[in-house]
Amino acid sequence: MRYTLFGQTGHRVSALGFGAMNLPDVPLTQAGDALNYALDQGINYVDTAAAYRNSEEIIGETISHRRSDYFLATKTKYRDYETAKQDIDNSLKRLKTDVIDLLQIHYVNMVSDYQAAMAEQGAYKAALEAKAAGKIRFIGITGHRPDLLAKWIGKGSFDQVLFHLNLAQPFALQELIPKLTEMGMGKVAMKPLSGGFIQPVEKAIRYPYSQDVHVIISGMVSVEQVKENLAAMELEVADAERQELEQLALDLGAHNCRRCNYCSCPVDVKIPDVMISSRIRDVFGLLPKGNQFYEKQQHSILSCADYEPCKETPLCEQKCPYHLPMRKTVMEAASYYR
Residues that bind ligand SF4 (CB under 6 A): 257-263, 265-267, 269, 271-272, 275, 304, 307, 310, 314-316, 319-320, 322, 324, 326-327, 330
Taking Cα atoms as reference points, which of 212, 140, 228 lies closest to residue 178? 212
Comparison of 191 and 206: residue with beta carbon closer to ligand SF4? 191
Q: Is 217 left (phi over 0), alpha (psi -120 to 50) or beta?
A: beta
Q: Using CA atoms, how far apart are residues 250 and 271, in angstroms rounded to an integer?
A: 20
Q: Please, what is the minimum distance in Å from the beta carbon of residue 274 to ligand SF4?
A: 8
Do the beta carbons of residue 105 and residue 74 sit within 8 Å?
no
Beta strands in 172-220 (DSSP E): 186-190, 215-219
Q: Using CA atoms, how far apart are residues 209 and 241, in angstroms rounded to an integer?
A: 11
Q: Please, what is the minimum distance in Å from the beta carbon of residue 173 to ligand SF4?
A: 17
Comparison of 100 and 257: residue with beta carbon closer to ligand SF4? 257
Comparison of 153 and 260: residue with beta carbon closer to ligand SF4? 260
Q: Using CA atoms, how far apart are residues 205 and 194, in angstroms rounded to an integer?
A: 10
Comparison of 20 and 148: residue with beta carbon closer to ligand SF4? 148
Comparison of 13 and 173: residue with beta carbon closer to ligand SF4? 173
Q: Using CA atoms, how far apart are residues 239 and 173, in angstroms rounded to an integer?
A: 17
Q: Please, what is the minimum distance in Å from the beta carbon of residue 196 to ligand SF4?
A: 18
Q: Please, what is the minimum distance in Å from the beta carbon of residue 174 to ligand SF4?
A: 14
Q: Please, what is the minimum distance in Å from the beta carbon of residue 336 to ligand SF4?
A: 15
